């Protein structure tokens, strides 16, 4: 039986500390790069956290999730802060959270990863001067909560990230994206459960499909950083999107139509949103026109830049 661990209270001088955090949306997988590739997008959740003298949490949410997400200690940001503090031996103090959310929930744009990273970065700010949390530490702590690093890595560091795991923990490499790459995300009104999407994956895939995806993943990195004209071929996938298609028929139909017209369209994360990695701003306008003309239900087109900063942390 594991002995209970006694956590220390924060030093009195940390009471009243305020930290602001800004975290970008992310799109993982990018077609063939399942659980490996992620891209940060210029759509942000913002958070201000204040350490209170008395226990308890006071949570205010504006924008996405207002009136829907929990406003007690089960809130994902609070759980993330508590996880980081406990890792360094500290109990959760009283907290006031002011969240302004723009990232859609349950649409494949990394909302849970953004909440986790928000909590990790808030805890880092709270502990500044007491505990120094490195980039590798932040990635490891966020991955422990998220389960895989493909969303939290770009949320933390920005740009295009390649993430992998080792016995020493998750690792990442950040790459700068070619300036011609012009993402557009099509967001439907309906949601998709990440757990359901993952449950549709087979435990094994044919050897030729694995080889196919290895080649396309390598090509995709080259296309994103150097040769955007190769994006249509580079975003082909045989590992996950076909298996999930039946659960997202509208998403699948639009991706088929977009790709048939020459647009590099993929499922964003676990879906149901669609990411088009256009090679120039004009191409993404064409993709938006096509979606508007063929879709039977509303899809919001988000014309987003690639975010190169990642999460930003400052004293509030």
Q: For the chain, give the mean pLDDT.
A: 93
Q: How many domains does the chain have?
A: 2
Residue 315: its pLDDT value, please?
A: 59
Are 116 and 218 members of one domain?
no
Domain that residue 276 falls in: 182-303
9 found inside a domain: no
Are 169 and 235 members of one domain?
no
Of 8-22, 134-148, 198-212, where does mean pLDDT reach its minimum? 198-212
Are 144 and 112 members of one domain?
yes
Separation of alpha carbons 236 and 261, rounded Å = 14
**Which residues are part of a known binding site for ATP?**
104-114
pLDDT tens-place string over residues 194-241 = 666 667 676 788 889 899 999 999 999 999 999 999 999 999 998 888
Are 262 and 239 members of one domain?
yes
Residue 216: its pLDDT value, please?
A: 96
The enclosing domain of 132 has a CATH number of 3.30.230.10
Are 135 and 273 members of one domain?
no
Are 19 and 96 members of one domain?
yes
Are 168 and 21 members of one domain?
yes
- pTM of the predicted protein model: 0.94
Question: What whole-number percentage of the chain has pLDDT above 90?
Answer: 85
Residue 224 and residue 175 in contact, taking contact as beta carbons nearer than 8 Å: yes
3 found inside a domain: no
Residue 284 and residue 182 in contact, taking contact as beta carbons nearer than 8 Å: yes
**Which residues are part of a known binding site?**
104-114
Residue 276: its pLDDT value, please?
A: 98
Torsion over CA: 160, 163, 132, 92 (sign): positive
Confidence of residue 15 (pLDDT cuts 50, 70, 90): very high
Mean pLDDT of 30-56: 96
């Amino acid at each position: 039986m594991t002995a209970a661990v006694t956590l220390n209270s924060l030093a009195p001088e940390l009471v009243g500390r305020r930290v602001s955090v800004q975290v970008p949306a992310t799109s993982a997988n990018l077609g063939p790069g399942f659980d490996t590739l992620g891209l940060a997008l210029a759509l942000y959740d913002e958070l201000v956290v204040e350490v209170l003298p008395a226990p308890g949490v006071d949570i205010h949410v504006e924008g996405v999730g207002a009136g829907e997400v929990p406003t007690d200690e089960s809130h994902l940001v609070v759980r993330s802060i508590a996880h980081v503090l406990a890792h360094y031996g500290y109990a959760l103090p009283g907290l006031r959270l002011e969240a302004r959310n723009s990232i859609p929930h349950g649409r494949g744009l990394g909302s849970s990863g953004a909440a986790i990273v928000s909590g990790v970065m808030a805890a880092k700010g709270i502990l500044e001067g007491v505990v120094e949390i490195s980039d590798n530490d932040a990635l490891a702590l966020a991955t422990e909560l998220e389960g895989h690093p493909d969303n939290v890595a770009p949320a933390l560091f920005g740009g295009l990230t390649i993430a992998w795991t080792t016995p020493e923990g998750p690792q990442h490499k950040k790459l700068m994206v070619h300036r011609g790459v012009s993402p557009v995300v099509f967001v439907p009104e309906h949601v998709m459960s990440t757990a359901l999407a993952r449950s549709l994956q087979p435990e094994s895939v044919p050897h030729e499909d694995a080889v196919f995806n290895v080649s396309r993943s390598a090509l995709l990195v080259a296309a994103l950083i150097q040769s955007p004209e190769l994006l249509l071929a580079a975003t082909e996938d045989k590992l996950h999107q076909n298996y999930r298609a039946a659960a997202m028929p509208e998403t699948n139909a639009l991706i088929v139509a977009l790709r048939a017209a020459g647009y590099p369209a993929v499922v964003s994360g676990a879906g149901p949103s669609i990411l088009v990695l256009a090679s120039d701003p004009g191409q993404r306008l064409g993709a938006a026109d096509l979606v508007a003309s063929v879709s039977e239900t509303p899809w919001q087109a988000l014309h987003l830049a690639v975010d190169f900063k990642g999460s930003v942390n400052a004293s509030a």
